[in-house]
Amino acid sequence: MTTSREASREIESLRGEIRRHNVLYHVYDAPEIPDSEYDRLFQRLLALEAAHPELVTPDSPSQRVGAAPSAGFESVEHGVPMLSLSNAFDVESLLAFDRRVRSLVESDRVLYVAEPKLDGLSVELVYEDGALVRGATRGDGIHGEDVTANLRTVRGIPLRLQPVGGAVPSLLEVRGEVYVETAALEKLNEERLRLGLELFANPRNLAAGSLRQLDPTVTATRPLRIFCYDLGRTQGLEIKTQSELLDRLPTLGIPVNSLYQRCDGIEEAIAFYERLREMRDELPYEADGVVIKIESFSLRHRAGQISRSPRWAIAAKFPAEQGITILRDIAVQVGRTGTLTPVAVLDPVRVRGVEISSATLHNEDEIRRKDLRIGDTVVVQRAGDVIPQIVAAMVDRRTGSEREFAMPIRCPVCGSPTVRHEEQAAQRCVNVSCPARIKQSLLHFVSKGGLDVEGIGPKLIDQVVDNGLVTRADDLFRLSVGQWAAQERMGTKSAQNIVDALEKAKKTTLDRFLFALGIPEVGASSSRLLAGAFQFLDGVIAADRDALLAVPDIGPATADGILDFFGSDANRQLVDGLLAAGVTPGNAEDKALHRSEALAGLTFVLTGTLSTMSRDEAAEKIREQGGAVASSVSRKTNFVVVGENPGSKASKATGLGIPTIDEAEFSRVLEREGSAGSSVSGRPVGNQQGVRRDDGSTLFA
């Protein structure tokens, strides 16, 4: 049993630590610990204060929402406090929340609305007579920072409301979350990594840092978005329920997250939480939980609030995306372009059910910026399918035995000198014949995105390179069945299969060929753009910088990468060798002649394993008929093609009412539509799993 004196000492210690982390998180956007560790500290404080209510003070972090506004912006007072939410970490906590709610509102059953909890920055937008007059951060819940100029650059935020029924509310204070989509963060970080700039640790840091820029033109360059979900003061707008609010705001031009559910009782809300947790990796944004709110505003008023949070809402948190472990060593890998990449060797730690034992460190500058040392206790995060990364070192846990890291001056594979140009962040092995570079290039060449050669994997590549049989990609096509069969654990039948697969791979498309070459800065998307613009391989090779920059979405870095690649004698010899070996990249013009527009305007998502074709082949067939293929399900998706053992995309489609089709039906339609050559429009036909053609017939009926 903790005595009052012991509790007082621990409470004061916790308060000091929590206050420090609040300032780091809310003011400087530089958190030192993961959310899970902060939550643990806060829950311990709440438990101690509940056991010793005489020790609760008005200035305790438990009585406040966040931290004081930064001195860099003018402070503004919220008309209605922007409260924080209490957290729930298990089903029992949600059931207890429901029991408290039903007791407060004196009802046997309560209607809730469940919404994804985005990991962004909370803001308030104030409209007077339809015009945006102020935008502020949440701050400490009472006072926030005036970031109006920065919020005006967020394209999703209307500067003037759309009139509903000829009028707009005379006053509307609407709350929302500014966030960044995961793909946008990755793209921005890739560019910053190339330029040697500091990377953003996560979407929330990017959103918060962007809104606190003193120069709004910087904010305008960031991919910020917003979803709104709550109200402050209003005049001229009558809203009685949360679902009515989420329906009404879009009519005013204010974006909301359409992925929400009206729940009849806490059981349905818990089921929504479980579904969203399963589809978490498929969401285009970071969601760290589900917010469950009383549907009725009048019942919310009856339930009331405590000093820092409403009694009518709770945040059901997902399992932590971050963990704490030890950085045991830093290994160095050599890529296909010679880039040396440091990789953290970690004590295994489980994050979101996945054991993490290594994490990318990008380059030496990133290690220096984060002040990482071998032996450090570090915070590791994993978001979706992104490679795990180290967020920060826990400097206060250092013992003095930690060691600083330095990049090797010689390649760890071939021993050749390494170089780093002043304008580049990467250090590279200069030896083009380095076995590590050759192996990575060959793996890229035969990968699914490249020539898609079945049967050739890392172990086989290691053998043929180490045995001196292969030094570049065209050598693969010259090996005999006997030479393949002579490799370890290879028989004649397997060797023949590889030779057959290589023969099949010789006939390929121009975009796949360009991607397989491994041209710096040229990915699958850029390869398709180049193939479409120049039609023939000779056209790409002969293109000058101006011609390359004239291609949409081809920037200076990509153009320079292409020019440098084809300007190299060794690379031109590789291309000539591939053509001489019989590799035939079909030109885009031939492909375009056979292109159908039967699926134009439709977006498909593929999930599960298809038996008659790979998912890449299915995607290509859709594109050949004018359709688009997306990686995740949204309300813009027209159809989800479901194979064997589908993932959560199928469940999400069902939840959103998006039609799903099996492989057999998908194949029939491809065959029928491909021969018909007609076009369809993406308009649903009632509740049928179909869309109507311009001629009145139905696709997928």
Closest CA to 350 of 380, 395, 317: 380
| Residue owning tokens 């990968």 | 447
Count of H helices and E strands in the chain?
25, 27
Q: Cα 127–295–120 angle (5° rounding)?
A: 55
| Residue owning tokens 């050949």 | 624
Distance between CA atoms of 276 and 271, rounded to whole angstroms?
Answer: 9
Distance between CA atoms of 500 and 492, rounded to whole angstroms?
Answer: 12
Distance between CA atoms of 232 and 10, rounded to whole angstroms?
Answer: 37
Strand 389-393 to 171-179 pairing: unpaired
Which residues does 251 contact at the CB level (< 8 Å), separation at least 6? 162, 164
Phi/psi zone of residue 226: left (φ > 0), alpha (ψ -120 to 50 degrees), beta?
beta
Distance between CA atoms of 276 and 288, rounded to whole angstroms?
Answer: 10
Query: How far apart, in Å, are the Cα atoms of 49 and each of 55, 63, 88, 436?
Result: 6, 11, 18, 58
Instruction: Single out the catalytic residue among 117, 317, 649, 652.
Output: 117
DSSP track, 636-699: T--EEEE-BS--HHHHHHHHHT--EEEHHHHHHHHHHHHHH---EEEEE-TTSS-EEETTS-EE
Alpha-helix runs per DSSP H in 308-402: 364-369
Distance between CA atoms of 171 and 175, rounded to whole angstroms?
Answer: 13
Which residues does 506 contact at the CB level (< 8 Å), separation at least 6? 477, 581, 582, 583, 584
Distance between CA atoms of 38 and 298, rounded to whole angstroms?
Answer: 33
Both tokens of 4, joined, read 């009052």
What residue type is assigned to position 485 of the chain? A
DSSP summary character for residue 358:
E
Which residues does 38 contact at the CB level (< 8 Å), separation at least 6? 18, 21, 25, 31
Phi/psi zone of residue 452: left (φ > 0), alpha (ψ -120 to 50 degrees), beta?
left
DSSP track, 180-228: --HHHHHHHHHHHHHHTPPPPSSHHHHHHHHHT-SSHHHHHTS--EEEE
Is residue 444 helix, strand or coil? helix
Q: What is the CA radius of gyration of the chain?
A: 29
The H or E element that residue 172 is part of is strand 171-179
| Residue owning tokens 């696709």 | 699
Distance between CA atoms of 692 and 678, rounded to whole angstroms?
Answer: 12
DSSP summary character for residue 164:
B
Q: Is 117 a catalytic residue?
A: yes
Closest CA to 572 of 431, 438, 474: 474
Angle formed by the axes of helices 266-278 and 91-105, to 10°?
A: 150
- Active-site amino acid positions: 117
